[in-house]
Amino acid sequence: MARGSAVAWAALGPLLWGCALGLQGGMLYPQESPSRECKELDGLWSFRADFSDNRRRGFEEQWYRRPLWESGPTVDMPVPSSFNDISQDWRLRHFVGWVWYEREVILPERWTQDLRTRVVLRIGSAHSYAIVVSAARSRQGGWGGTAAEQHGTSSCHPRHWVNGVDTLEHEGGYLPFEADISNLVQVGPLPSRLRITIAINNTLTPTTLPPGTIQYLTDTSKYPKGYFVQNTYFDFFNYAGLQRSVLLYTTPTTYIDDITVTTSVEQDSGLVNYQISVKGSNLFKLEVRLLDAENKVVANGTGTQGQLKVPGVSLWWPYLMHERPAYLYSLEVQLTAQTSLGPVSDFYTLPVGIRTVAVTKSQFLINGKPFYFHGVNKHEDADIRGKGFDWPLLVKDFNLLRWLGANAFRTSHYPYAEEVMQMCDRYGIVVIDECPGVGLALPQFFNNVSLHHHMQVMEEVVRRDKNHPAVVMWSVANEPASHLESAGYYLKMVIAHTKSLDPSRPVTFVSNSNYAADKGAPYVDVICLNSYYSWYHDYGHLELIQLQLATQFENWYKKYQKPIIQSEYGAETIAGFHQDPPLMFTEEYQKSLLEQYHLGLDQKRRKYVVGELIWNFADFMTEQSPTRVLGNKKGIFTRQRQPKSAAFLLRERYWKIANETRYPHSVAKSQCLENSLFT
């Protein structure tokens, strides 16, 4: 890609989207419409962890063949939630292997009788390897449907299946997957009930993403026979289970399978390029209408692809960058098709934000204007629910982000729930969308199987998040061992693949390597750097930060001539610990460390440093270790989302930067009613 002048990826988008994904089908967010119904399966599921020595009892005894309670005791498990922190059983908190979830659903009669209806089972995420078995029961009794014979090991690869038509397997957490189960619920004597059994294995191996290793400890003087531990190479707790919603939804049998939108701007007009894929029939008609926020039709078109022109466009702007940020249009797609069973229609509405993204050698541009990322790194993490999706938590976090004056975050270190991405679109919070490529720390992790899987994961991430205007950059990894030759090739391939999937956005990975040794940096569009001066080394020596930071920036910029984001920096702080003059772990130390970083950042901010993301938004859970006190405490908020002193410092800084960099130049106003600091 040419560098030096601004490269508007958006303009290339429509030409290159033809580099189709290797994946089968789209992954549109399920929504209700005149042609679609949804049935959420959130709530209590039956649950059992397979504590057997080889963790295979569930498959050996075929627990999926009958209701789970018939094969042994079950407990209630809320969905969505991680299973780890729910019970009082310490074995479950640290469990590694297969767990079993089960739920019965009564199906609306139309879903089982109307053969023009397609019934889909969708799992928002299952960490990390999942096998789903569905069985339908007729009114007369007896379960029919499918069965699986699987031989679980502490690795997580199934060997073979019987009657696998209505079953589904998925590798990798944090991303949705689904199966058309119409054949199961619409054949034979009319079924009215569906039993869904989901077996999930949280084992991380050298070829999963994130990778991990299983270590058998064989010294019998210290460990019982067969004793093993899961080693991970990242700094967050490996929460697992059905952590996002599970639902059933319908479409007609001929349906809108996928929509891809890219946008660009020509003088005062917005251009919306759309591409629609339809499945189920070749005899169909597509009509599209673009509506503004007041529901006025501003453009329309027909066919599977085209360009809509919006004169006097209202652009999608990030929060605090414009008077009216996050402007969204709606793309209404209507499909009418002829099928052997008669005419069918399908409707889907996609929110669309019109904006451009470009990178020069020293700037990150949104809508042609320099954008400075002043934001946070997050985790999906909270008390009790672990990584389970939770609306109150989500809304609280967005209120805190806006209070803080943050305009961006990175989905460190895996894709967040789709509802999070939707909020970002609606609130104008810019996202660096990171895949679960974290913990790539050992040379053996850079193998061909992992590379193939990593590319597949990027396909799934791009397929899911490609239409979010808030997503301005993909991150393919966090702190891989990028000094290794093998990592250089690996990163080159993953980045090239991601660019072929989506030429409309820049691609990066986050590095903590030495600038001279990093083998992946030549392939990224923006350099993202993590550094912990006066924390992991030279601890206590806050006076060194400015010098070390300046050296870091100058070295990297001189070598690569690319814009730089300080993608992590921070200090561990136990809320309520105070010491002045500052000592490590106190609120004063965190504040002082941040202040020193800010002085260093301000030296380069108007040159080529285009962003700063604090590590971390909130305290979060990690594995136990002598260096972690009930988790990682680098949050500026506690895990319960209460501010430490650093939150106020950061708030002052972010609002100040926002007021300096806003377009058109006027005083920024928080969208939070309670904000009063600078408004």
Nearby residues of 367 by Cβ (< 8 Å), 6 or more positions away: 265, 315, 317, 355, 356
Interaction pattern, residues 565-594, with ligand GCB; x per rule: CB under 6 A: ---x--------------------------
- Taking CB under 6 A as the criterion, the residue among 374, 378, 454, 634 binding ligand GCB is 634
Q: Please state the closest distance from residue 572 (CB atom) to ligand GCB, in A.
A: 7
Q: Please state the closest distance from residue 636 (CB atom) to ligand GCB, in A.
A: 13
Rounded to an integer, what distance in angstroms lies between the CA atom of residue 383 and that of residue 641? 11
Q: 134 or 478, CB closer to ligand GCB?
A: 478
The closest alpha carbon to 13, from 525, 468, 504, belongs to: 504
Question: Helix, strand, coil: what percent of the chain each, to 5?
Answer: 25, 30, 45
Q: 171 or 235, CB closer to ligand GCB?
A: 235
Q: 615 or 637, CB closer to ligand GCB?
A: 615
Q: 425 or 568, CB closer to ligand GCB?
A: 568
Q: 235 or 257, CB closer to ligand GCB?
A: 235
Q: 24 or 625, CB closer to ligand GCB?
A: 625
Q: 174 or 615, CB closer to ligand GCB?
A: 615
Q: How many other CB atoms sit within 10 Å of the CB of residue 627?
A: 9
* Cis? peptide before 581, omega within 30° of 0: yes
- Taking CB under 6 A as the criterion, the residue among 35, 478, 546, 590 binding ligand GCB is 478
Question: Contacts with ligand GCB: how many residues (CB under 6 A)?
Answer: 11
Q: Please state the closest distance from residue 568 (CB atom) to ligand GCB, in A.
A: 5
- Taking CB under 6 A as the criterion, the residue among 146, 632, 661, 675 binding ligand GCB is 632
Q: 253 or 566, CB closer to ligand GCB?
A: 566
Rounded to an integer, what distance in angstroms lies between the CA atom of residue 1 and that of residue 41? 45
- Taking CB under 6 A as the criterion, the residue among 171, 235, 459, 525 binding ligand GCB is 235
Cα dihedral 39→41→43→49 (10° resolution):
180
Q: Please state the closest distance from residue 577 (CB atom) to ligand GCB, in A.
A: 17
| Dmax (CA) of the chain | 79
- φ, ψ of residue 456 to 5 degrees: the values are -60, -40
Strand-pair category, 430-434 with 305-310: unpaired
Q: Half-sphere exposure (CA, 13 Å, Cβ side) for 470? A: 26
Amino acid at 544: L
Residue numbers 396-435 binding ligand GCB by CB under 6 A = 413
Q: Using an 8 Å Cβ cutoff, are 372 and 320 in contact?
A: no
Rounded to an integer, what distance in angstroms lies between the CA atom of residue 622 and that of residue 435? 19
Q: Is 479 a catalytic residue?
A: yes
Nearby residues of 606 by Cβ (< 8 Å), 6 or more positions away: none
Q: Please state the closest distance from residue 438 (CB atom) to ligand GCB, in A.
A: 7
Rounded to an integer, what distance in angstroms lies between the CA atom of residue 394 and that of residue 383? 13
Interaction pattern, residues 182-221, with ligand GCB; x per rule: CB under 6 A: ----------------------------------------
Q: 274 or 620, CB closer to ligand GCB?
A: 620
DSSP string, 564-584: EEEEE----B-TT---SS--T
- Taking CB under 6 A as the criterion, the residue among 479, 518, 525, 619 binding ligand GCB is 479
Interaction pattern, residues 122-161, with ligand GCB; x per rule: CB under 6 A: ----------------------------------------
Q: Please state the closest distance from residue 617 (CB atom) to ligand GCB, in A.
A: 12
Is position 482 an interface residue for ligand GCB (rule: CB under 6 A)?
no
Q: Please state the closest distance from residue 235 (CB atom) to ligand GCB, in A.
A: 3
Query: Of the listed 102, 178, 479, 572, which one is catalytic?
Result: 479
- φ, ψ of residue 663 to 5 degrees: the values are -125, 135
Q: Please state the closest distance from residue 135 (CB atom) to ligand GCB, in A.
A: 41
Cα dihedral 498→501→506→510 (10° resolution):
-20
Residues 29, 33, 36: CA angle, nearest 5 degrees: 75
- Taking CB under 6 A as the criterion, the residue among 373, 615, 637, 654 binding ligand GCB is 615
Q: Half-sphere exposure (CA, 13 Å, Cβ side) for 404? A: 29
Position closest to ligand GCB via CB: 235
Interaction pattern, residues 509-548, with ligand GCB; x per rule: CB under 6 A: ---x-----------------x------------------
Rounded to an integer, what distance in angstroms lies between the CA atom of residue 20 and that of residue 305? 14
Active site residues: 479
Q: Which residues bind ligand GCB (CB under 6 A)?
A: 234-235, 413, 478-479, 512, 530, 568, 615, 632, 634
